[in-house]
Amino acid sequence: MANPASKNGYDVQIRYRTLSIHVENTKDEKVFLSRGKKDVATDPATAIRNIDVHQLNVDEVYRRYSIAPQVGLEASSVARKAKLGKNIISSPPTHYWKKIANYVFGGFNFLMWIAFILTVLSYQPLGGDDPAVYNLGVAVLLILVIVVSAGFYAWVDWHASRIMKSIKTLIAEEATVIRDGKRQTIPAADVVAGDLVCLTIGDRVPADLRLVSTSSDVRFDRSLLTGESDMIAGSVDPTSDNALETRNLALTSTFVVQGNCIGICFAIGDKTVMGRLVAMSGESKFKLTTVQREVWFFTKIISAGALFTFILSLIIWAAWLRTSFPGYLTASTAIINSIGCLTAFVPQGLPVCVALSLTIVAKRMAKRNVLVKNLATIETLGCMSVLCSDKTGTLTMGKMSVQNVAFLDQEFVVDDIRKRLQVTDASTPSAVRVLHLVARLCNGARFEDDSSTSTSVEERSVKGDATDTAVLRFSESLPTLDSSLLSDSHEKLFEIPFNSRNKWMLSVVRERKAAEDAHTWILVKGAPDVLFPACTHFLDADGQLQYLDSKSRSRLQALQMRWSGQGQRVLALCRRAPSTVVSKIDYFNTNPNTIEEAMYSEMQDLTLVGLVGIRDPPRPDVKDAVAIIRRAGVRVFMVTGDFKLTGVAIAQQVGIVTQEKIDTLAELRSSEYYNTFSQSSRHDIKPTDDDPIRALVITGDDIVTLTDADWDAIFGLYTEIVFARTTPEQKLRIVEEAKLRGDNTVAVTGDGVNDAPALKASDIGVVMGSGSDVAKDAASMVLLNNDISSIVDGIEMGRLVFDNLKKVIMYLLPAGNYSEFMPVFANVFLGMQIALSSYLQVCFCITNDVVMSIALMYEKPEADLMLRKPRNARTDRLTDWRFFVQVYLFIGLMMWPAAMSMWFLYLSQHGFGFYDVILVYNKWADGWKGYTIDELTHFVSVGQCCYYVAIVFAQYGDLLAVRNRRVSLLQSNPFWGPRRNLIIPVGMLLTVIIAIVNLYGKGLQDVFLTAPIPGMFWGIPFAFGAGILIMDEIRKLIVRTYPKSFIAWIAW
């Protein structure tokens, strides 16, 4: 079921707590009487106060919903109740007027509105009795710009959201229910009131449930509702009269993080507590991503500069030009020319490209079946410097299978045991039957299908974690040993499921025989290094009980080391008879917590039945993906709950560890470089390019003892690290300590409940599509096809979006900002006729700038993009001083003088010298240099068009130059090869056509005073564009040849 509440952040948690307080105030009826005629039935506090299912005993709950334990709803009841609606929480209402207002006034559109209003004023009333049609034309053009921009923003937003919604539907949210006495897995949306719902570790609660059966250790994560990270114990009995506080209700969108339980659904969809909170929360708040925040900051700076120069030009006109040079500029003309300050400063293509990046990212990620919850995830991936990866199910396939079985005196390959059992070979170890019993009955997994003959064991669907699934399939696959008969002949009395803290599972089973003949066994399965100390005896292969002495322990540990070194997960299978005290427990009427405490006291004097070695092969794509990620400057660490040798073996297989010498904590502390960072800032704690590659293995026991100095040395000196035998709390601490140092942007991959805290605390949480619901909720990116190479795609995409936006700004500023502003500056301060009309400025901003900016956003990655160091999110900004040196002191300093030279060259052909054009002010009037005012106006119009065409073609050189930061155009042209981008030549052709239409369109000539220009002014600007490109090619050559030179140092 969709979880819209996750979008609302702390708002849901605040409303949950507020609602809980209101529900507590049951005696204050005035609160509700004061509501007047409002329908109190729809009030969330009233509705939740009316919940009483938690106060009923279990039998009363079954009677209320007319269902029987272990049977659930009948098909006819399900069909009837399904008509009442789906179990789906409605999304918060969308305030479309806010969206429309953002489209219309967002970005630089508000500056366009200012320009539009002032242009209309300059037409009337400031235009007088004979207002210039030109002014009205510019006003129409500006409103057209606003409409087109708003429409484009709306289309991009709609398109991106549609793609993301389609991807989210690929995540199947399911629920396990009991109907007609059978367990069924159904879509969560099909759950109905009265359903008997079964929950296990890692499941999301699909609806509001009244718990009727729980394991002793069941725990829920309610942080989405309460904001508190502590696990909440589940209970069958009520613990509070308040439905929001009692522990015998499991509420929608919370998670089972430990144990298992069964509950009866009493509310679905919008009638759940979460549904009511979402309805109260209203529309989710919009949050800016990192890049959007930087662009917004840049927009504010640019807008402030535009408004300042606009106001300054009007002040100068009013205070100086109007009085000192009467007739030079009328009020209407001064406003129109000053509008150039607004349009010149506005890089109109920038907000378009930021919006477009949403669609580009969404499409690319959709193609790879990657669910990205927001654009910020991709941007952050571009900054990622540390990747902490879980092992099982992430680096490995998560398809475990038992490969080896060993008793203390014999070791077997599983296939060998199967063959011996098939031929009833006398050499079959007798202990195999005991091992089979422990493997089958001390197991948290189960087959979902009823038939054992319809499909092979390997193809049958299993509900449970990968380790239990492997052991279950192994026990089921042993010939002549009937697992179903074994299950039917034993009754499970109690169970403590596996958890990451104990690292073992315990089951109490009893034979289904007469009481005096029935044997009860305590069966335990778990990590050998945890269970070996609790073992005092062992079964040999013949099934004989032997004492476990120190020599035998050494043999077992050596075997564990050998199997772990091969990358196998090793499990110890043990049993014991219960003590006299425990054997007298009434398992059906004793509090589960009391039983659990008693079982902990039984974790001694165990008999080791045998060891099993489980193989989980690495994913085929992981090694190449790790290599690419490491080449991109990202350190990859393994964080696993497995034994250290198993973790190291897999790390070596996938390329996380490449060094033969792997340090331990003791070796680290005794090394000569241990105190390297004792005086360093936390920002500097990271390996340098000159440091050798070092490898380290740290265990969970080590982590408990680590000091700040240890953490500094770990993250400052080591490139290859394996953290083994870690608990969820330790995984969380690893992430937090990594984030504290070296300006690290930390990503975490995982798929299980144990990974959820670390996933949530990381900068980027990445979970496999096959992962648990808890992990998916905590993560910000879901790899639906379980392909870890998608992370590589995400890193590249994050870097590419940032890189291309940087190029867009680099392209826009020299012409769209610098070269357009200089004519306005010369007009106001130097008394020259404006060299680029307001119409041509606006036209250039909305056509050339936008078209070419979009072309740049579709640029493919440069060859070295994935070889660069990760961007430091704290210090590396979208623009910096090097960037502005390139814009204003290199490209821009070539472009605007080149364009201005075309203005002066054209006027010089008609007898105007330099000082006949500049510092003229109001002399440019009828009779100046023997020309009439109409002729002078024509010269200005043609000169403006010459300037316009010059920056159109000069900008081609800028465009081709900014495509690459280091590589020559000859190696990455837009026409063919890996950097092919045919949108660029198409865009160039389109801008030429626009220029031709502007200059030769009869209607445009009449309204906007454009005019054809001499042929030479179409040709010379090509040389300007080529010159800019050649100069930048020379700069790049110097940077490549002399990487430590001054030119390389100031390179953007």
Report phi then psi at 223, rounded to 5: -60, -30
Interatomic CA distance for residues 896 and 697, integer angstroms? 59
At position 195, the amino acid (one-letter code) is D
All residues at 6 or more sequence positions from 910 whose CB lies less than 8 Å from its CB, including other chains? 931, 939
The residue written with tokens 């890692």 in the block is: 202
Query: Cβ of 992: how many Cβ atoms within 10 Å?
Result: 15
Interatomic CA distance for residues 668 and 707, integer angstroms? 13
634, 385 Cβ separation under 8 angstroms: yes
Q: At what angle do helices 622-631 and 789-812 cross, to 10 degrees?
A: 30
Q: H-helix or E-strand containing 38?
A: none
53, 273 Cβ separation under 8 angstroms: no
Is residue 356 helix, strand or coil? helix
834, 824 Cβ separation under 8 angstroms: yes
Question: E strands, 512-567, where?
Answer: 520-526, 535-539, 545-547
Q: H-helix or E-strand containing 699?
A: strand 695-699
Please, what is the Cα angle at 883 between 880 and 885, to 5 degrees? 110
421, 435 Cβ separation under 8 angstroms: no
What is the pairing mode between strands 520-526 and 504-511?
antiparallel
129 is catalytic: no
Please, what is the Cα angle at 151 between 148 and 155, to 5 degrees? 135
556, 532 Cβ separation under 8 angstroms: yes
Report phi then psi at 169, rounded to 5: -70, -15
- Give alpha helix (H) positions in 577-721: 580-583, 592-601, 622-631, 644-654, 665-669, 700-705, 708-717
Interatomic CA distance for residues 754 and 23, integer angstroms? 34
Taking Cα atoms as reference points, which of 714, 861, 711 lies closest to residue 801? 861
Q: Between the CA of residue 455 and those of 311, 451, 452, 461, what are the distances in Å?
A: 80, 8, 7, 10
Chain centre to alpha carbon of residue 106: 26
DSSP string, 433-488: HHHHHHHHHS-S-EESSS-SSSS-TTTS-EES-HHHHHHHHHHHHSTT--HHHHHH
Q: H-helix or E-strand containing 860?
A: none
Catalytic residue (one of 390, 743, 751, 787):
390
Interatomic CA distance for residues 732 and 529, integer angstroms? 23
Question: E strands, 478-549, where?
Answer: 490-496, 504-511, 520-526, 535-539, 545-547
Question: E strands, 781-832, where?
Answer: 781-783
Radius of gyration for the chain, computed over Cα atoms and rounded to the nearest angstrom = 37
All residues at 6 or more sequence positions from 1015 whose CB lies less than 8 Å from its CB, including other chains? none
CA atoms within 13 A on the CB side of 505: 22
The residue written with tokens 């917004």 in the block is: 296
Is residue 24 helix, strand or coil? helix
The residue written with tokens 């014991």 in the block is: 576
Q: Give catalytic residue positions.
A: 390
